[in-house]
Amino acid sequence: MEEFDLVIVGTGSAMNIVEPLIGANPSIRIAVVEKDEPGGICLTRGCIPSKIMVYPAELLRLLYNAREIGLEVTSGGVNYEHVMMRMRELIDRDINAIRQGLRSSRNISFYEGTAKFIAPYTLSVGEKTIKGRKIVLATGSRPLIPPIKGLREAGYHTSDSVIRMALTKRPESLVIIGGGYIAAEFGHFFSATGTKVVIVGRNKRFLPEEEPEVSHVVTNEMSKHLQIVTGCEVTAVDTTAGGRRKVTGFTKEGKELEFEAQEVLVASGRAPENDVLDAAKGGIELTDKGWIATNEFLETSQPNVWALGDANGKFLFKHKANYESYVVYYNAFQNQRIAADYHAVPHAVFTHPEVASVGIGEEQAVRENGRERVLIGFQRFEDTAKGEAMGVHGYFAKVIVRAQDYRILGAHIVGPHASILIQELVTLMYTQENSVLPVTYGMHIHPALSEVVERACSNLMDVEEYHHVLSHHYGIKTGAD
């Protein structure tokens, strides 16, 4: 059995702490264990490869209204095979570089296999046994596969399998089971390549985690290129005599719906990977849903063992995992007691149109603060000079603030570059005042899309007025309609 100063399970964001540890202690001994390709989920089968895939789709969609702004262009579509090969070349290059770095480091012993606890602080990896004085668990997650009758027998794909090139040829048609961000992004991509796509979600709204008016805009725009079915629970998947997949579901009212396609993609969310850990043997408690239980300092139930990233089930985003890696570094190795702060975890959905959000939504803001203590700022893209120049329609920014002190509670943007535009508000939410006022005081370049955020922050109104403006002036559905 080999003993180490630190054992890390997983090669994603937990690797952020390795370089500073080696810099501070050149003789430190670290064991790194990985059962999949090194680099973590984001690199190997998540956000990075999927964004390489959807970028060509975004460019194609930008040409959809090209004639409106004076462009005479003809697009031959998105070459699926070329995009996928490019994605794999870029990802494999980075994976191989990380693997080489892990194998060549004098301070790191790289174990390629599945880590399982056999006792506290002691794990087996294949036939080898390792022990760590401190352990960081960054085990990631895997696609959630719902218990649908006949699904396994009929065969299906996930975001993981698509990125791993299980579909070498573009499918002629595709049913996507799920109505969240994975379904949205992969539906966007496949429809741009020419695949006939149907998205079937169980919730009454597409992208149910977003604000209702954001969901409304995205549904309308994406429905120009694919079919979106909501409020339908998929109950069975069968194989037809011709080798196609038949997907059967029922609406809340009991109406039976059937969809037939060449392939099925399951996009029902993510599930924990911690069952392979034998966590109980390591004294590690799991939540009822199988995530590693941690306190505010990211400590597990076993002293000197921390968990970060998808492993703890809190906000399954790479940027959140990166943030947590620094919390673990300071708590585990700098003798600090920093509590993880999740009040402003941003996220984006890279569809067309793009979506970005941070903080809480209007419903929660009203519930926690009272209707009279909430103000909402709103600005349409097309009512700014840059938005008008771009010829965009129906997109907007929504900012939710607390009336008494202008504290930002949340922000929601749908439209071009939403993931970039929202960062101004995310950064302010990490200041002591957390106030929207610096946006209104600060000078913004004209004409630039940043004026969408500036004007939303300068155009605050009460909740009733906001819903009146959206419904009666712009015809946008909201949660109050």
Residue among 180, 224, 179, 175 nearest 196 (CA): 175
Q: 347 catalytic, yes or no?
A: no
**At 99, phi and psi to the nearest 5?**
-60, -45
Structure tokens at 343: 């009040």
**Exactly one of 188, 446, 467, 473 is catalytic; which is it?**
446
Structure tokens at 22: 């080696």
Residue 34: exposure state from Cβ atoms within 10 A (0-12, 13-18, ≥19): buried
Structure tokens at 418: 């939403």
**Distance between CA atoms of residues 10 and 80, nearest Å:** 31
Residue among 58, 317, 355, 76 nearest 189 (CA): 58
Strands of the 407-414 sheet, one edge to the other: 347-349, 355-359, 407-414, 396-402, 374-380, 460-462
Q: How many Cβ atoms sit within 10 Å of the Cβ of residue 286?
A: 19
**59, 64, 68, 70: CA torsion to nearest 10:** 50
Amino acid at 344: A
Cα 190 to the chain's mean position, in Å? 18
Structure tokens at 268: 């029902």
Assess contact for 5 and 28: CB atoms under 8 A. yes
**Distance between CA atoms of residues 352 and 134, nearest Å:** 44
CA distances from 364 to 294, 316, 345 (A): 25, 21, 16
b/e map 224-258, b = 16+ CB within 10 Å: ebbebbbbbebeebbeeeeebbbbbbeeeeeeebe
Cα 368 to the chain's mean position, in Å? 26
**At 274, phi and psi to the nearest 5?**
-80, -5
Q: Max Cα separation, the chain?
A: 71
- Catalytic residue list: 446
